[in-house]
A and B are shown apart, each in its own frame.
Chain A
Amino acid sequence: EDQVTQSPEALRLQEGESSSLNCSYTVSGLRGLFWYRQDPGKGPEFLFTLYSAGEEKEKERLKATLTKKESFLHITAPKPEDSATYLCAVQGLTGGGNKLTFGTGTQLKVEL
């Protein structure tokens, strides 16, 4: 069974204070690792997909990296509008189709 563990559960940063969110996973064979952002009262919004160890993707102040056991979401010089819950999900070989297994998320708060 695929499993995803995210840490920390919550993170409070000052504006401009860079940090990283962690996603550890176990999967029989990784098809893809996904990062989503979720704002309060809304559905998750897609950010990145990573497919193989060593891969990196960037979008504005966010950069996602992948190893064989974990993924990091690096946030550089965050702004208050980056405040959200960040979800990690994996798609394994045994899942079939487009089935995703999600972690419980990291709730990020960026303060002025």
Chain B
Amino acid sequence: DAGVIQSPRHEVTEMGQEVTLRCKPISGHDYLFWYRQTMMRGLELLIYFNNNVPIDDSGMPEDRFSAKMPNASFSTLKIQPSEPRDSAVYFCASSLSMGWNDEQYFGPGTRLTVT
């Protein structure tokens, strides 16, 4: 398996623009997670899905952020409008649903810079 795939790997955009990050989880994994990583706050969970359904979005910072999972092999995280404080590395991860103790497999991340 190719692992979790994220695109783009790098994104530079201007404040106010819409940004869409994409993720393809590992085939057969039922859980999908979106994280944001910054030097100050470390790795923070934004939202996660189970069988394409959003389960917990309490980590989404504000209404400018939205996430969708239209099918088992694709998810998007959208920021509209983007702001400089959104600059971070965004990771997507997936895991199996064999139990509550399964490790999460992370993608390579998308480095977002908002100027």
Mark A residues whose CB is within 8 Å of B. 31-32, 34, 41-46, 49, 51, 87, 89, 91, 96-105
Mark B residues whose CB is within 8 Å of A. 4, 31, 33, 41-45, 48, 50, 55-56, 91, 93, 95, 97, 100-109
Interface of B is mostly: strand
Identify which of B56, B104, B108 contacts A46 (C-beta below 8 A): B104
A46-B103, A49-B103, A97-B31 as given contacts; A105 in contact with B108, CB under 8 Å: no
Note all chain B residues with C-beta closer than 8 A to A101: 45
A31-B100, A43-B93, A49-B101 as given contacts; A98 in contact with B48, CB under 8 Å: yes
29 A-B interface contacts by CB (under 8 A):
A31-B101, A32-B100, A32-B101, A42-B108, A43-B4, A43-B91, A43-B106, A43-B107, A43-B108, A45-B106, A46-B103, A46-B104, A49-B103, A51-B101, A87-B42, A89-B43, A91-B101, A96-B55, A96-B56, A97-B50, A97-B56, A97-B100, A98-B48, A99-B48, A100-B45, A102-B44, A103-B42, A104-B42, A105-B42
Note all chain A residues with C-beta closer than 8 A to B33: 98
B100/A98 in contact, CB under 8 A:
yes
